[in-house]
Amino acid sequence: MTVKEFKLPDVGEGVAEGELVSWQVSPGDAVSEGDIVAEVETDKALVEVPSRYDGTVQELFAEPGDIVPVGDVIISFNVDEGAESGDAEAEAPDTEGEPGDSVDDAKTDTEEAAAAEAADTPEGRVFAPPAARKLARELGVDIAEVEGSGPGGRISESDVRAHHESAEAHDDTADETAVTPGEGGAPEAPTGAGASETVSADAGPRAERETTLAVPATRALAEELGVDIHAVPTEKTRDGEAFVEAEDVRAFAEREEEPAAEAGAEAEAGAESATAEPAREETVPYRGVRRTIGEQMATSKYTAPHVTHHDTAEIDTLVETREELKATAEEKGIRLTYMAFVLKAVVAGLKEYPILNSELDEEEGVIRLKNYYNIGIAVATDAGLMVPVVKNVDEKGLLELADEVQELATKARERSISPQEMQGGTFTITNFGAFGGEYATPIINYPETAIMGLGAIEQRPVVDDGEVVAAHTLPLSLAIDHRVIDGAEAAKFTNTVKEYLAEPTKLLL
């Protein structure tokens, strides 16, 4: 056995350090390449750190809450030399490394972390991130047999699920035509999602599944609460599989704990003083994502002179159109929200008024007009406001946009979103109406030059042919960088967005 030290890799562009949030392993645990060993929060996002080795955890070198610089050793493994992967040959020395090797080793670790996504197979190289490899192991899929849809044949989690479903469908067909005993043996009982599709929240306090889909953060929460994720009831599905979210895990854990909590409540009441006073003040660390959000907001507010234009769109026709399309979307497993329509309307407006899809480059003294449309969607999370970016909105249909928005928002709330999924935006939309209210003065997501805020969709009084009637309306708040955009352009852009929202069939053109 050889001791291999693993250093915190460069988990994001420009990231120099990270806060260790939690360990997913303990000394003595057996791990495989790609298994998540730790969660680290950088100033950009919560990042999962995968193992590069097959072996056993020997020692943990940091505690949750510690700030760890990139390149510092965080964990060591006992690795069987004969089982080491080929891409580990060029990695940093073990515990007997030579003096002065820290800088080079950090670079080597970074390079190897990227190289670890590819594994040699008899048929060549298989390119897949750790999350896809882990899902393949959970579903019993041979990663080498999966056809990748990404650049260079890169395999994604959706590719693994599609391969798994295809194999299950083939197995079901084989079961229907299986030979009888004596002609080759009896068919095996079906496993996986096909054997558990009838399970729902109405089936009782516990569900029994062999396959459950959940983001890594949800699985970590289930492990922390001592919950069997396969026992958590859910009616949600993703790609035909049962899909469990963090709220499902918490609700299940609370139901399980209620009897014990009630039994111990009286004893605790007698032990605690009824006159105990809460602390007058508490402190919350100002770092990580929260600090980055604050610094970004300050930079935007004190750099770009903000002007906010308010208006209201009448959207009775949009409400009716969405209601007509909801059933079709639900048949495809997609929740059709108003945001998909707003995205298309905003892009239509940006194409007519490209100055709002721009960036001011002060160093070169130019305004960069973007001819691509990557729209950020502000999402409220426990860590603060995150802005996942929907790429190439102009090239996607309503259902595709609705599905992608939902997926990115879930990742942001579960803290499993990658830094790459929050970069490259050209314009931002923030939906404060989801929490009530009509108008606001949103802060521009600098260095973009505009952001549109959405108020709550409600029936409000409007004037129609001299009479006051009730109509569904959507309040709009457009904040602009007045160095680049004039008030007249802001008003014209908003009018265009209103026009498309009032007559959503125009979006099909």
- Between CA 314 and CA 319 the distance in angstroms is 10
Asked if residue 61 lies in contact with residue 52, where contact means CB atoms within 8 angstroms, the answer is no
- Helices 246-271 and 216-225 sit at what angle, rounded to 10 degrees? 30
Catalytic residue among 230, 306, 472, 482: 482
The answer to whether 190 and 172 are in contact (CB under 8 A) is yes
DSSP 342: H
Q: Which two tokens stand for residue 319?
A: 């409400």
Question: Token pair of 368, please?
Answer: 């960069």
CB within 8 A of 173, min separation 6: which ones? none
Helix segments in 1-82, DSSP class H: none
Distance of CA 26 to the CA centre of its chain: 26
Q: 17: which strand partners?
A: 69
- Residue that has been written with the tokens 């996002």 in this structure: 45
Can you tell me the distance from the alpha carbon of 63 to that of 56, in angstroms, rounded to the nearest whole number? 19
Give yes or no: 170 in active site. Answer: no
Residue 237 and residue 212: Cα distance in Å, rounded? 9
Cα 378 from Cα 384, distance rounded (Å): 10
Which residues are catalytic, by number? 482
